Structure 1
Amino acid sequence: MGRMLDDSTPHATHGNGANQAGSFFISMKPPRSFREQLSLMESRGLAVENELSALRRLAESNYYRLRGYWLTFEENGRFTPGTTFDDIWETYQFDGELRDWVWRVISPIEIKARTLFAYHMAMECGAVAHEDNRYFKNTMAHAKSMESLTREKNRALRDGVPCVVHNIDKYGDLPIWAAVEIMSMGTVSQLYGNLDAAKSNVAKLVANGFGVKPFILRSWLRHLTYIRNICGHHSRLYNRVVTVRPNLLRADARYDGEKEFPTLLVLKRMYEKSWPAKWGCLTGQIVEVVRAHPSVSLKPMGFPEDWETVIRCEMPVEQR
């Protein structure tokens, strides 16, 4: 008889399991200690000037988390000559400060969007009109939004959130001005984007509050929800391919792309209309973050050479 199949034909075990499609996985690679992780990086050309510091940072931040930050220092599976662990850590630190800044800047926009959506929805259509799918274009999308709201409402009831408990006990339901306080930014963005302009003026009225047309605001809220979630989950923003891209105003169209700089332009335009006096201070803060990390390249984020001038300059907010 011929010899039995060897390990080139894996079996459906814990080490070599079959997936539902019938194909096979290779064995999971064994875990590596922090010391082994650092040795692997060194074997690929990374210079480590302070081993104890590098090991401590690996223990604080996770090898795979840092992995995304050395993409710009890598070529053909090896670090470019001269790359140090400190170069990677500096990029990591920069990204954390950038995310903190973006999170803080988005916060007032989110609150204003909630406020205007609730106000105009209530005044135009009624206290619980957000539950009525007649005001929305896609009934299936609306149903999903309501499922999300129900989950948040049930969580709020379990947590004893006063405004939720009060309204449910007194009225058996949440009026829109209370509901927006427990909606995620994603749910608000989805409901706004799904509004039927033929059934109400809500979309236009909310957009007017931001000084743009509804299709621009829909795009911006969707984009900022995506960016906010990246920041909220402490995910990497630096050198990321932005899959939910915003529609830029014509004045900014030359900076369009799949990187992070368009986000700054969206934030700038929204602040120019709503809080123009604050934008100068916020611009100064992000400039300070960049200057505190001079070794970190901004090119992987799509920043032009004159990015400071671009985000500072006072250009009329165009509405297409």
Structure 2
Amino acid sequence: MGNNALDSTPRATHESGANQAGSFFTPMKPPLSFTDQLELMRNRGLTVGDEELALRRLSETNYYRLRGYWLTYELNGRFIPGTTFDSIWDTYELDCALRTWVWETIAPIEIKARTLFAYHMSMECGALAHEDNRYFKNTIAHAHSMESLTRERNRALRDGVPCVVHNIEKYGDLPIWAAVEIMSMGTVSQLYGNLDSAKSGVAKSIANGFGVKPFILKSWLRHLTYIRNICGHHSRLYNRIMTTRANLLKRDSRHDSDKEFPTFLVLKRIYEQSWPKQWPSRLNGLDAAISKHGGVSLQPMRFPEEWRDILK
């Protein structure tokens, strides 16, 4: 008797649509051409002005990427009467502009966080203190952070990053001031959030550099890492539920929500402490991006009507 006869385990097949747990899935939908995609949207009530332009945009931007931008224009599986392809595209373009603005605004915050982490960690605890789990509350979480750093170090060695090659060849290890240059923002955020304040004053010293208490900075870095990753992967920011939220200062608590406006408040508070002269130009850039797409509602992002005054 062959092996197949002895093995009675049920096998899932694409044809049957069954998985190995014995349940059944709905058969996969067939792919649609760009023309069929547009026709499907029309059948659901969308108004299409320039068909050639709409088809070109579908060919350059995945249907399911655009799908997230018409959630606010949809009711019971159909488009709200009067919804146009252009209105959806305008929402998409606003989101692109917001993601670019947020990415650029976070960049100096990330660099400052790296700098202060390396400086205070090394000055108080030593050049290799980031590798010593005694300075951290959760040793398992610290081990995961070190695994991430090891992967980044190996990648940097393969790529011949000068500061990494130099330190490894000369010292056999990376001091914290070199290590932070190859750490992801997520690793920096995790290490900061894991610092044990009973073992050192590093967490407080870094937070002082941002003008807030350590628990606030921990929350902000974690949240901004999440937002940075959304922007870096070109994911939708507009009308998104924030699964990683920031703790707001008491004076901003009335604007707390699981949508996007709190992110902009956090950025304002960091800039007014660290780079107050730069914030007005950053805000002007945000205003320009939003004004260019004035027909798109900011309500899904929980922007209040007076958002410009609040962020001023």
TM-score, with structure 1 as normaliser: 0.93
Matches within 5 A, 1:105-254: 105-254=105-254
Residue 20 of structure 1 and its aligned partner are, at CA, apart by 4.1
Q: Which amino acid aligns with 1:158?
A: R
Measured in 2, the distance between the counterparts of 1:15 and 1:266 equals 51
Q: Which runs of 4+ in 1 moved over 4 A?
A: none
Conserved? CA contact 1:15–1:28, under 8 Å: no
Partners of 1:136 and 1:196 within 8 A in 2: yes
How far did residue 239 of structure 1 move?
Answer: 0.2
The answer for the alignment partner of 1:24 in structure 2 is: 24
Alpha-carbon offset, residue 17 of structure 1: 3.6
Q: Which runs of 5 or more residues in structure 1 are unaligned?
A: 1-10, 313-320
Q: Could you say what secondary structure the match of 1:195 adopts?
A: coil
Indicate yes or no: 2:243 matched with 1:264: no
2:13–2:19 CA contact under 8 A, matched in 1: no
**Secondary structure, in 3 states, of the residue corresponding to 1:271?**
helix
Identity rate of aligned residues, in percent? 74
- Give SS of 2:278's match: helix
Shift of residue 27, structure 1, vs aligned partner: 1.5
Q: Quick one: distance in 1 between partners of 2:66 and 2:144?
A: 35
2:58 match? 58
CA–CA separation in structure 2 for the residues paired with 1:182 and 1:68: 33
Tell me which amino acid in the other structure corresponds to 1:274: S
Q: Per the alignment, in what secondary structure is the counterpart of residue 182 of structure 1? A: coil
Which letter does structure 1 place at the counterpart of 2:292? A
Which residue does 1:284 correspond to in 2?
284
Cα distance per residue 1:287-319 (max 9 Å; x no partner): 01111001100000010010000000xxxxxxx
TM-score of the superposed pair, with normalisation by structure 2: 0.96
The total of aligned residue pairs comes to: 303
Contact 1:95 1:236 in 2 (8 A): yes
TM-superposed CA distance for 1:23, in Å, is: 1.6
1:70-119 CA distance string (max 9 Å, x none): 00000000000000000000000000000000000000000000000000
For the residues of structure 2 that align with 1:19 and 1:268, how far apart are their CA atoms? 50
Question: What is the root-mean-square deviation of aligned Cα atoms in Å?
Answer: 1.1
Instruction: Specify the code of the residue in structure 1 equivalent to 2:75.
Output: E
Q: SS at the partner of 1:134?
A: helix
**2:3 aligned partner:** none
SS at structure 2 position matched to 1:127: coil
Return the letter of the residue paired with 1:244.
T
Q: Which amino acid aligns with 2:170?
A: K
1:78 lines up with 2:78 in the alignment = yes
Q: 1:218 to 1:30 in 2, by over 3 A?
A: same
Report the equivalent of 2:310. Answer: 310
